[in-house]
Structure 1
Amino acid sequence: EALGLAFQLSDDIMDVTSTAAELGKDPGIDMKEGVYTLPVLAALRRGDRATELRDLLTGGPPEGDRLERALDIVRDPATLAVARTAVAAEVDRAKGLIGRLPAGPARTALVQLAEFLAVRCGARQG
């Protein structure tokens, strides 16, 4: 569960921070589909820009210029730090659980996967 949650949160961050070339799809797809993930929810809790983001989302899922502006707000470093902290916490939880498994290639691979998820979204340095 912890590894799956770390993956999902990492993916949510990538959806708002990566380019189309990096993702293989346009960024902001979740928001465009009306799925408001942790980075969006964190941005909605933060000060002046939260009001603007709320206004952008009120008329339904944003598209075009509204989507670009919403992504700009969600990409705020302090907002992303909240989401990245959540990824790091889930990675640590996953690694603690994985550590209970017998030593061997499977355990090593799971630890590497967990660490990759944290690095992938910027929650940890590689």
Structure 2
Amino acid sequence: MLLPAGHPFARRPSLRLDDLADARWIDAPGVGLPLTAARASVRYDGTDLLALCALATAGHGLVLLPRRLAQAARAGVAVPLSAPRLVHRTELLSPGTPTGVAAALAARLTAGSPV
């Protein structure tokens, strides 16, 4: 979770999604998963991740990001989500055996190397 520095939960070691049931969220379908209208208080139609982070750290709403992205934000506090456990998965789909750059990427992904 990317929170403004002054958010009441910013000093916690981790958060549960249930803790944030009544929070204001930013719906940013161009950057992340779209939220239901009932949960979102602000909608961001852009695709700039840094702009989304700026909105969150300015207090306009919360965003759930992969830890590496939340920690790379220029402001705010990244607090890990402890429950539920979320998993980010990358899949490479190919109609045959990958070649060239796709083969190199597939090799890195299967080796567990960061991309």
Per the normalisation by structure 2, the TM-score is: 0.30
Higher strand share goes to which structure? 2
Alignment TM-score, normalising by the size of structure 1 = 0.28
Higher helix share: 1
